[in-house]
Amino acid sequence: MPHSKSAHVHTRKRLYINPDIQGGLITRTLVHWLLYMTAALITVAIWIAYRNHDASILTMAQEVLSNYAPNLIAGVVLLPLFLYDQLRFSNRMVGLIYRLRQEIRKLTGGEGVQRLRFRDQDHWPELAEEFNRLAEMAVNNRR
């Protein structure tokens, strides 16, 4: 069957593996963040306009910015953390699929494959065992 009988666990060095999936998640997170920040700003503006309906637009704009500034600062500070967390979380799915595809290519190319074992925090650990059984069957059928 596979080259080594011991379970080999890869430590992924790259966090950003799949631009289609991970890039899409990052883009969606950015869009959601921008929509939230815009909605919050508009809500604050409406609230201030409701409370001070006789104030000038300039006065209301200044009050909106002064009331909204802490939320804006918090949002800007938190955004990189949200994006990093999104990359880490998606890496637990995308990374294992990347490894699985590499081993499938080796197997279909007639090369020996390593026994797969995903990292403890990866999703779908049973996928590795299912691949290992399939690889063993494929190697046995070649003999």
| Rounded Cα–Cα distance for residues 106 and 109 (Å) | 5
For residues 126 and 98, the answer to whether their CB atoms sit within 8 Å is: no
Instruction: Give the pLDDT score at 2.
Output: 44
pLDDT band, residue 11 (cuts 50/70/90) = low
- Render pLDDT for 34-45 as a digit per residue (tens, 0 to 9): 999 999 999 988
- Indicate whether this model's pTM tops 0.75: no
Q: Helix, strand, coil % (nearest 5) of the chain?
A: 70, 0, 25
Q: Which residues pair with 62 in a beta bridge?
A: none
- Render pLDDT for 19-37 as a digit per residue (tens, 0 to 9): 999 999 999 999 999 999 9
Instruction: Give the pLDDT score at 6.
Output: 43
User: Residue 116 — φ and ψ, nearest 5°?
Assistant: -85, 140
Look at the chain and count its residues: 143
| Rounded Cα–Cα distance for residues 34 and 79 (Å) | 10
